[in-house]
């Protein structure tokens, strides 16, 4: 069994670390947030990312944004300072693809391997070890990490070279945002027209409009359960990556821009930390009608 360092124990990371422990691995932990008692009891806790890298064979990071990954990896007491040749660094955060390529080069220059492996599936997927994991990096490093990925997820794909996992995750977040928007519009329409949104959702679940987002987030919209989950502020960050990437590529993503504006409406009304299914609240404001 491997000795695994895990940095970043938020909503997603804590569940992912638990699943690695259940798989029999030894964990070394570090995080800015308080570390849950059950993880603290089953793992070693160290004071810095550098100490994690010194103690572990494989280091996994799961932090919010590109600057956070850069700090964890390359600060004076960061992961890079504690690495020795032959180790593997896996970043499972969702960050900028171009920055990822630069980070990979810096880690590989130290004689180590680097994978970008962002995930999709939210807190439920992290808890139930059913995450989709999109990986960029070498095939050899991917095969080395595959048994660990199998403890955290189900749909595990090597997409391409460094940065390809992050590019895939950006594409995923475009689809998720636009589908949340479509479900929200449909349920607001149904409510405004006088139909029961819960029964409309139930009927749609049996047809071509069925989706995981209609199932999970449609229920959230109807029950008004907007505790995250996946926070709006994090989805805003991911759509910023999409829109900045589109600008660099010289392409238009008009509906992605529209979804970002709806998230901005939520944020302007104090909703940065709502679950991203709460995008429906922006649509409700414009319609003068709540789903429920």
H or E, element range at 191: helix 164-192
3-state SS track over 198-266: HHHHHHHCCCCCCCHHHHHHHHHHHHCCCCCCCEHHHHHHHHHHHHHHHHHHCCCCHHHHHHHHHHHHH
What is the distance, to the nearest Å, from the Cα of residue 277 to the centroid of all Cα atoms in its chain?
A: 15
**Sign of the C-alpha dihedral computed for residues 93, 96, 101 and 104 taken in this order:** negative
Both tokens of 81, joined, read 């300072």
Determine which helix (DSSP H) or strand (DSSP E) holds 188, and give its type and residue range: helix 164-192
How far is residue 191 from each of residues 19, 177, 200, 278, 282, measured CA to CA in Å? 40, 21, 9, 16, 15
Helices (H) and strands (E) in the chain, counts: 14, 9
The answer to whether 273 touches 242, Cβ cutoff 8 Å, is: no
What sign has the CA pseudo-torsion 215, 157, 117, 175? Answer: negative
Contact 183, 218 (CB under 8 A): yes
Residue 169 annotated among the catalytic residues of the structure: yes
The single residue of 105, 154, 169, 192 carrying the catalytic annotation is: 169
Q: Work out the number of other CB atoms within 10 angstroms of the CB of residue 1.
A: 9
Which residues are designated catalytic? 169
């Amino acid at each position: 069994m491997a000795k695994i360092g895990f940095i970043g124990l938020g909503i997603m990371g804590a569940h992912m670390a638990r699943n690695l422990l259940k798989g029999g691995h030894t964990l070394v932990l570090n995080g800015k947030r308080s570390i849950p008692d059950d993880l603290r009891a089953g793992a070693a806790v160290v004071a810095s990312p550098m100490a994690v890298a010194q103690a572990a064979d494989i280091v996994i990071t799961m932090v919010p944004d590109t600057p956070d990954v850069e700090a964890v990896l390359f600060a004076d007491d960061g992961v890079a300072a504690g690495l020795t040749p032959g180790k593997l660094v896996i970043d499972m955060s969702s960050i900028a693809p171009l920055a990822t390529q630069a980070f990979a080069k810096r880690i590989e220059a130290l004689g180590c391997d680097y994978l970008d492996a962002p995930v999709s599936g939210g807190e439920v997927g992290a808890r139930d070890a059913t995450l989709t994991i999109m990986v960029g990096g070498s095939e050899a490093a991917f095969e080395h990490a595959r048994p660990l990925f199998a403890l955290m997820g189900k749909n595990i794909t090597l997409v391409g070279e460094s940065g390809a996992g992050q590019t895939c995750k950006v594409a995923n977040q475009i689809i998720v945002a636009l589908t949340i928007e479509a479900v929200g519009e449909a349920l607001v329409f149904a409510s405004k027209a006088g139909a029961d949104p819960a029964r409309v959702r139930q009927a749609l679940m049996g047809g071509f409009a069925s989706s995981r987002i209609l199932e999970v987030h449609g229920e959230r919209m109807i029950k008004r359960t907007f505790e995250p989950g996946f926070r709006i502020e994090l989805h805003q960050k991911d759509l910023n990556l999409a829109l900045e990437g589109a600008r660099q590529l010289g392409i238009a993503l008009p509906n992605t821009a529209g979804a970002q504006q709806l998230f901005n409406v939520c944020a302007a009304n104090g909703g940065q930390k709502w679950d991203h299914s709460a995008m429906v609240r922006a649509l409700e404001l414009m319609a003068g009608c709540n789903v429920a």
